[in-house]
Amino acid sequence: MAVPIETIDLDVVGGDDVIEHPERLAESQKELGNQHFKARQYHKALICYSEAISFCPTSATHYGNRSACYLMMNKYQEALEDARKSVMLDPKYIKGHMRIAKACIALGDATAAENAISQAKEVSDDSSITQQESQLKQLKNIYDEIDKAGAKKDFRKALYYYDRALEVATACTKLKCMKAECLVQLGRYQDALDVTTETLQMDQNNADCVYVRGLCLYYQDNVDRAFTYFQHVLKIAPDHRKAMDAYKGFSKQLKVKKEEGNEAFKSGNFTQAYTLYSEALSIDPLNKVTNAKLHFNRATVASKLGRLNEAVSECTSALELDENYMKALLRRAKCYLDLGQYDDAVYDYEKAYQKDKSMEIKRLLMEAKLELRKSKRKDYYKILGVEKTASTDDIKKAYRKRALVHHPDRHANASEGERKEQEKKFKEVGEAYGILSDPKKRARYDSGQDLEECNDMSSNIDPNTVFQAFFGDQGGASAFHFGGGGGGGAGAFPGVFTFQFQ
């Protein structure tokens, strides 16, 4: 059982012995420390080893033991300092060299670890050297993989190797910051902040961690706050190249260019705004949040310029960068609606409603569904070849023209297939005129109300009756002569009437 430090009666040796025999007192403390160490009471062991060093500061073993204790407590920087002190006192102290290597590997310093192992080999062929060599080789191989992944900007793969590296270099602050920066590039901002928190709790002026936090803000389009972080980094470390590039380089350029685009848009100069937004998009391809907004801005401009297909494409690009970008989703839905692509419009509005069940989005969804239903019925305006704003006279003129073009008697000598097609079109022209020439029916048709009723009404319309009613009271050289009967001649519309030009 380990003996508590306070039970050691130093007076047994005598007051003069403290001065005359410090080695004996140091040895006693070392032995007591060893007992605590074996019992895994590392805090108590640390005190004993420190006492031993105070009595005999020229012993490599005392520093070596305290270094071992620090290693077990995961205090690698302190362990490294003591191990280096031990080999300064005794260059042939093999355990000191190995503890340097072990601490350096934990701290991620492969070069220093390699140097320590090389010096250890000059002193001894101890089997522990092979174990440290194996760990060092593993760490160096992982570093190589990180470099390869970084060169290809394969951040997912790099993250995998950062995790593997930290399993070996468990106390490497630099690796942790690099992992956090990798998480930023993957858009995992909260994870990046979590990784840096532990380091900043121990060292609030760690420039790399502060820089990563600035990046998190920058990539979330909080550029002004990001600037304050980058400025703080440059106060801590004036030569921090990444922070300098971010503050004076791409982040500032992006902010300025985006603001210039916004000003051009507000002044109504849409073409210039589009150009400025495009220039801003080329500055930093990795800033997904800001670039999503820039694509949305270009979509807004394209929509203002009547380039609806382009607006759809820009909204799609924005949603690829930020799938939860509601404004881009609603803008694309509206463009689909204006393009007459109602199925796509309904799909986008339904997706938006799943995310936000507000009354406004519900209204937009219902309107899109109505337009979709309307689109699946016959387009009587298209059949007559008129705009939806056509007047009654426009509709009459259009009917006159279309009815004469498609009347079956005019195609009596055509093939059977062509005759049937013209009969179908003649019928549709009559239906269109029957609906659109009646103000009440037209109003219901335009509003999309009573769609089934409109279909029933159109099915009850006899195109021949419409034709006769429209042309029957007209005389003159161009008058038509109707006759019933089913003579079935070549110029007959069976069972209804025939006509001829004079």
Is 60 exceeded by the pLDDT of residue 106? yes
Residue type, 60: A
Q: Domain holding 208: CATH number? A: 1.25.40.10
Give the pLDDT confidence score for residue 55 in this predicted structure: 94
- CB contact at 8 A, 49 and 30: yes
Name which residue leads in pLDDT, 471 or 156.
156
Concatenating the DSSP letter of every residue in 95-163 gives HHHHHHHHHHHHTT-HHHHHHHHHHHHHH---THHHHHHHHHHHHHHHHHHHHHHHHTT-HHHHHHHHH
Q: Please check whether residue 113 is in contact with residue 132, taking contact to mean a CB–CB distance below 8 angstroms.
A: yes
Q: Using CA of residue 249, residue 252, residue 254, residue 260, what is the dihedral sign?
A: negative
The answer to the question of residue 44 being in a domain is no
pLDDT category at 470 given cuts 50, 70, 90 is low
Residues 297 and 369 grouped into a single domain:
yes
Q: Closest by alpha carbon to 466, among 404, 383, 378?
A: 404
Alpha helices in 169-307 (DSSP H): 173-185, 189-202, 207-219, 223-236, 241-248, 250-266, 270-281, 288-304
pLDDT for 477 beyond 50: no
Residues 359 and 406 in one domain: no
24 in any annotated domain: no
Confidence of residue 444 (pLDDT cuts 50, 70, 90): confident
Which of 98, 120, 140 is at the close of a domain? 140
Domain endpoint, select from 454, 469, 486: 454
Lowest mean pLDDT among 65-69, 212-216, 251-255: 251-255
Retrieve residue 427's tokens.
């019928």
State the CATH number of the domain containing residue 412. Answer: 1.10.287.110
Q: Is residue 295 part of a domain?
A: yes
Residue 13 in contact with residue 21, Cβ under 8 Å? yes
- 355 and 388 co-located in one domain: no
279 belongs to a structural domain: no
- What local confidence, expressed as pLDDT, does residue 478 receive? 39
Instruction: Give the pair of three-digit tokens for residue 488.
Output: 């079935």
CB atoms within 10 A of CB 277: 27
Give the domain-ending residue among 248, 268, 295. 248
Query: What gap in Å lies between CA 52 and CA 232, rounded to an integer?
Result: 43
The separation between CA 20 and the C-alpha centre of its own chain, rounded to angstroms, equals: 72
Nearest CA to 288 out of 189, 213, 160, 180 is that of 189
* Residue ranges making up the domain that contains 103: 58-140
Average pLDDT over residues 19-46: 90
DSSP for 413-447 reads: TS-HHHHHHHHHHHHHHHHHHHHHTSHHHHHHHHH
User: Residue 16: helix, strand or coil by DSSP?
Assistant: helix
Rounded distance between C-alpha atoms, residue 502 and residue 143, angstroms = 96
Kindly state the average pLDDT of the residues 135-146.
96
Model confidence over 329-362: pLDDT tens digits? 999 999 999 999 999 999 999 999 999 999 999 9
Residues 302 and 368 reside in one and the same domain:
yes
Host H or E run for residue 498: strand 497-498
Clarify whether residues 292 and 372 are in a common domain. Answer: yes
Say if residues 9 and 17 touch (Cβ distance below 8 Å).
Answer: no
Q: Is the pLDDT of residue 150 over 90?
A: yes
Please compute the mean of the pLDDT values over residues 269-298 and round it to a whole number: 93
- Calculate the average pLDDT of the chain: 85
290 and 356 together in one domain: yes
Could you tell me if 289 and 369 lie in one domain? yes
Whether the predicted pLDDT of 152 surpasses 60: yes
pLDDT at 459: 54
**3-class SS at 83?**
helix
Dihedral of alpha carbons 102, 107, 111, 115, sign:
negative
Which helix or strand (DSSP H or E) is residue 492 part of? strand 492-493
Q: Is 35 exposed, middle or buried (0-12, 13-18, 19+ CB in 10 A)?
A: middle
93 pLDDT above the threshold of 80: yes
**Does 237 map to a domain?**
yes
| Same-domain status, 304 and 349 | yes
Quick: pLDDT tens for 282-291.
998 888 889 9
In total, how many domains does the chain have?
4
Q: Quick check: is 180 in a domain? A: yes
Alpha-carbon gap, residue 193 to 174, rounded angstroms: 15
Do 371 and 299 belong to one domain? yes
pLDDT band at 304 (very low <50, low <70, confident <90, very high): very high
Whether residue 146 is contained in a domain is answered as no
- Write the CB contacts of 131 (distance below 8 Å, at least 6 apart in sequence): none
Could you give the CA distance from residue 253 to residue 145 in angstroms, rounded to a whole number?
Answer: 33
Distances (CA, A) of 459 to 293, 427, 434, 435: 50, 10, 10, 11
Do residue 92 and residue 130 come from a single domain?
A: yes
Which of 16-20, 109-113, 186-190, 217-221 is the most confident on average? Answer: 109-113
- The b/e string for 40-77 (b: 16+ C-beta within 10 A; e otherwise) is ebbebbbbbbebbbebbeebbbbbbbbbbbbbeeebbe
First to last CA, the chain: 130
| E strand intervals along 324-377 | none
* Residue found by looking up tokens 């468990």 in the block: 170
Q: State residue 99's pLDDT score.
A: 96
494 assigned to some structural domain: no
CB 431 within 8 A of CB 378: yes
- Give the sign of the dihedral formed by CA 466, CA 470, CA 473, CA 476: negative
Contact 89, 60 (CB under 8 A): yes
* Residues 180 and 228 placed together within one structural domain of the fold: yes
27 φ, ψ to 5°? -65, -40
Q: How far does CA 37 lie from the centroid of its chain?
A: 51
pTM (2 d.p.): 0.63
| Separation of CA 177 from chain center | 21
Residue 214 predicted with pLDDT over 60: yes
Q: How confident is the model at residue 404 (pLDDT cuts 50, 70, 90)?
A: confident
Do residues 300 and 370 both lie within one domain?
A: yes
- Per-residue confidence (pLDDT) for residue 485, from 0 to 100: 37
